[in-house]
A and B are shown apart, each in its own frame.
Chain A
């Protein structure tokens, strides 16, 4: 077990929804990063849950910026801090819309330029802050306010896009596994250059499940193999502990899908398609681990 510091950087009484897993995750992320850190936040739920100026629930510098600009702002900030001889961690904490859609150009540019920063995409698979509209990261079949009969397209493969920039370190994480997340943030911050964590963040109002089920929802995502926890260090992929057993014998995806209101319209055929894709995805990751792909 990793020693998780007792210092709190995220105070109680944020304006997050009950059962919000992205704020829970941020609590552990900041414990891992420590106080010499700056968080760059584009438009997303985290921009709102700090509370209203002049108050803030966050006990670390947070620089809120325009939707598309987080990675570019972080580029400038990192360059300026390094030019002044400071080692302050520059961490982007952005939602999936701000990452895979409107922010992807800035993200790609910052990674290509080798920016010394950590980019964390907390992915609740829709535009949560504006009331759950479809994003490029919304999975196939999910109902959102702009896909009333379920999304017809697959989730964008963000990990593959980021991996194509060959960062020294990238990983997936899930809010239901704070120890794993904590260790990955600490590790990411030991590298020079761009590092990336893709964090699955279950969202009660968006995914339509009871608030007390947030941790359970994250665990189901991992146990069914819908979400696989892994690390990629200088191109070498390793499966993280919580996923090792899970992908050896994953639970049926139905266990994960049937407990979320957003998937209530799925037909058995669509359910089978999702199962096949999850199985395929697990095989691909396994091949990457084995070095055969």
Chain B
């Protein structure tokens, strides 16, 4: 069915189709529309689910953890400070190997209060053991949310997945959405270690260094295994529903001399910049990175790279720029842009490419 909806509504629609048994959530701008929609689905009887209106995000993730360990599908959504308030429990969810799916509407962190797009919120969760995908369109927000459940619950993964969409730029922007007839794309959830009084166990009791170390290795091993699971989930999605996704979305990269790398909506904006640059005779391309964790294998051999980070690690640099330097062994032009919802147009992006200084870092609009 074709509709015109916001990014938030698209996420809620996908979450409804995935049929979670428990949704525990707390409102925060610009995510609130997602959980309002979930509450309405439950209230209208469209979704057979318990909606727990918790008193904080810490409790939202805690309640999802308590529900998930009984073996039922769970979903929540948050943003910014809400995500950071959850931080203890996001670690817990991954460590407890619970396939919780969460939408995070990317938003800047205070102070001062800023409700607009920035990736710093989710980037602060990058080492927790969550898989993280970043989307750029309403359609992709819907598709990625559906795929998230299938990936998280795969027996080789059993880790939580976070679907990230840019605050307002995508969460509140109307675009067309084609929903799918899900069929058996997401198999029933089977948690091999669900709580069962017939087989009593202590979960998460005191754990010595040997076992602790082993559990951490198992998270990493599952993270590695998740690469194939992600590829399979995306391939199957393409086969069934006709829309294809991969680690990155590459645009006119084949013969490019210079590639713009960005995430989320800026990654889409970069495609327009590429067209503009091509008209000027600059052979540009763009790569929109979709997965932050696990981080994709990238190859920019023979190309110059301009990285736009909508995030920053103070005292270190743009996280994606540094990641590409580390993973690909290349020098890049690192642009910090779009923090706190700063407007970055395709013309601005074209400017970054024209004026690139490989090896340097540039803070757009402030230096």
Contact = CB atoms under 8 A, between A and B. Distances in A.
Contacts of B72: 80, 83-84
B82 to A, nearest CB: 14
B282 interface: no
A52 B92 CA distance: 18
Contacts of A69: 58-59, 62, 65, 88-89, 92
Contacts of A88: 197
Contact of A53 (B56, B58, B205): B205
B301 interface: no
B207 A62 contact: no
Interface residues of B, number: 42
Interface stretch (A32-40, A158-166, A221-229, A235-243): A32-40
Contacts of B21: 80, 83-84
A146 interface: no
Interface stretch (B46-54, B141-149, B162-170, B303-311): B46-54
B74 interface: yes
B176 interface: no
Nearest to A71: B59
Interface stretch (A108-116, A171-179, A254-262): A108-116
Q: Which of B48, B54, B208 has the most CB of A within 10 A?
A: B54
A40 B66 CA distance: 9
B117 interface: no
A56 B202 CA distance: 6
Interface size range of chain A in the complex = 35 or more
B201 A65 contact: no
Q: Which of B56, B65, B205 has the most CB of A within 10 A?
A: B205
A22 interface: no
Given A75-B52, A105-B55, A109-B59, A80 B66 contact: yes
Given A36-B197, A77-B69, A48 B206 contact: yes
A45 B253 CA distance: 59
Contacts of B63: 72-73, 75-76, 79
Interface string A72-92: 111111111111101010000
Interface of B: 21-22, 24, 48-50, 52-56, 58-60, 62-72, 74, 88-89, 92, 195-197, 200-208, 211
4 A-B pairs closest in CB distance = A76-B66, A109-B55, A76-B63, A72-B59
